[in-house]
Amino acid sequence: MTSQQLRVIVHNESQYWRLSPVEMSWAKISAKWQSQFGESLEQCQVLDSNGKPTLHQIDRVDINDPTKDMLVFLADVQERSTAMYSISRIDSDETEEIEQKATIRFLQPEEKWDAELSNSEIKMLFHRGRTPSGHMAGSAYSLETSTGINLTNPYNLPVLGKRLMQLEKIFIKTPWDPYSEAEWYFADCDYEYVNSSEGPLRCFLTVKAPFYMIYDNPVRSGPGKIITRLNCFLYRVISLYSCRDYVCEDIYAEAKGFRKSIVVNGTELLLDEGINSLDLSFVARFHMVVPGLRGYDRDFKMIYVCPDWFSVGNNSFPHPGIGFASNVHVTQPKDLGDLHWNWDLYPTWHIRCLHQFMYGKNTPEKEGIYDFGDVVGKRWYDVIYTPLWGEMMK
């Protein structure tokens, strides 16, 4: 082990003590280490201010894009304060076996269609493709709590197509007409498996779905029509942290390649093609189907207090509730009838959102009514609005 270290300051902007994971770009840390010490950093340990190791893991979110790699470590910071941590190099043969507190496994190891993400609080089954379940792509079709309640069907009703967390559509302003937008439907697509891993702090699953943008150059002068095709992908990084009753998700869209051609007298000729990486601004629409969350039920309750989160729930036993929080504004969820709900997010380049799962045991009760909004509002504040965050010292 070496005495070389990078110093990291972790900030807690909330008014109470926090013991939470911190996420930092591993690519930036590696680049800083390379520039400062002239060597690569493959393995590391994270030490607190007393020199004691803290739990950490390095997540290769996208094995084809090392700029997305993340260092996740556990930090302990007092209210309205900062704490000093350090990153030091450690050889691979010095690493220790650490218990995996959030795990992921695949029901079909070869095809990886269905993933089981679990910790001490919840067990979720996530289906990434349309086959064999039709419009179930990219959704959780089972969500069991530690008490055995399945929140995708809390009342055991004979309903098909139960699902949570489904990203149904995205909308993108078209480059050729800024006053219109195109839409792409992902509820019946086959997401491609990208990567997954597990560790002491979280497990994650990364999937992507291809889509294409094709447009003409509307301002071209001269003969021939210029056609541009963009090969694009929608990425979803689904994370389950240890000892948590919610799932975090990062969503972004990128154009990864282009092909430009000209059409003259009905013949298309290639002008240029290549690989690029262009971030796309988009609007996302989520969808869920949950028996027991019907707007006309006597004990149904919807809370929409803050523009960045909402909750829906039923006060009847086992008091099921679903919450959603995001780093961008959320439209009020629509009850489409027949157990279906959907909601939109405002335009953005990157969505950081949280799917909260509630039942009687983890939901506070006030005057005989379960306060689903209390849970979701606190999660939004802790995880989305004011998470612990770290920065490297210069």
DSSP symbols for 107-159:
SSTTT--EEEEE-SSEEEEEE-SSTTTSTTTTEEEEEEETTS-BTTSTT----
Q: Whole-angstrom Cα distance, residue 217 to residue 353? A: 36
On whether the CB atoms of residues 334 and 294 are closer than 8 A, the answer is: no
Average pLDDT over residues 207-231: 79
What's residue 380's pLDDT? 96
Closest CA to 181 of 344, 360, 292: 344
The pLDDT tens digits for 350-381 are 999 999 999 999 999 988 889 999 999 999 99
* Token couple for 48: 């607190």
On whether the CB atoms of residues 77 and 17 are closer than 8 A, the answer is: yes
Amino acid at 169: K
- Give CATH 2.60.40.1180 domain extents, the chain: 5-97
What's residue 94's pLDDT? 55
What's residue 95's pLDDT? 55
* Token couple for 253: 């869209």
Average pLDDT over residues 34-59: 94
Residue 290's alpha-carbon distances to 41, 83, 126, 162, 342, in angstroms, are 46, 42, 15, 6, 11
On whether the CB atoms of residues 158 and 291 are closer than 8 A, the answer is: no
6 three-state secondary structure: strand
Q: Whole-angstrom Cα distance, residue 271 to residue 278? A: 20
What's residue 218's pLDDT? 61
For residue 4, is pLDDT > 80? Answer: yes
On whether the CB atoms of residues 264 and 223 are closer than 8 A, the answer is: yes
Better-predicted residue by pLDDT, 96 or 50: 50
Amino acid at 261: S
Average pLDDT of every residue of the chain: 90
Q: Is 23 exposed, middle or buried (0-12, 13-18, 19+ CB in 10 A)?
A: buried
Residue 129: how many CB atoms within 10 A of its CB? 21
Range with the lowest mean pLDDT among 113-117, 172-176, 185-189, 244-248? Answer: 172-176
For residue 265, is pLDDT > 80? Answer: no
Residues paired with 269 in a beta bridge: 262
213 three-state secondary structure: strand
What is the percent of the chain where pLDDT is above 70? 94
Amino acid at 366: K
Q: Whole-angstrom Cα distance, residue 184 to residue 232? A: 11
Q: Is 61 exposed, middle or buried (0-12, 13-18, 19+ CB in 10 A)?
A: buried
Range with the lowest mean pLDDT among 230-234, 256-260, 287-291? Answer: 256-260
Average pLDDT over residues 302-316: 90
Amino acid at 307: P
CATH 3.40.50.300 fits 5-97, yes or no: no
Average pLDDT over residues 83-99: 79
**CA geometry: angle at 117 spanning 115 and 121, to 5°?**
155
- Which residues make Cβ contacts (< 8 Å) with residue 380, sequence separation at least 6? 306, 308, 309, 325, 354
Highest mean pLDDT among 198-207, 216-225, 268-277: 198-207
Q: Whole-angstrom Cα distance, residue 291 to residue 301? A: 14
* Token couple for 303: 């809370």
Closest CA to 45 of 102, 1, 80, 97: 1
Position 1 confidence tier, pLDDT thresholds 50, 70, 90:
very low
Position 164 confidence tier, pLDDT thresholds 50, 70, 90:
very high
Distance of CA 146 to the CA centre of its chain: 22
Residues in the chain: 394
What is the DSSP-derived secondary structure letter of residue 200? Answer: S
Q: Whole-angstrom Cα distance, residue 156 to residue 151? A: 10
* Token couple for 318: 């086992």
Closest CA to 124 of 152, 101, 99: 152
Q: Whole-angstrom Cα distance, residue 66 to residue 26? A: 8
Q: Whole-angstrom Cα distance, residue 138 to residue 342? A: 15
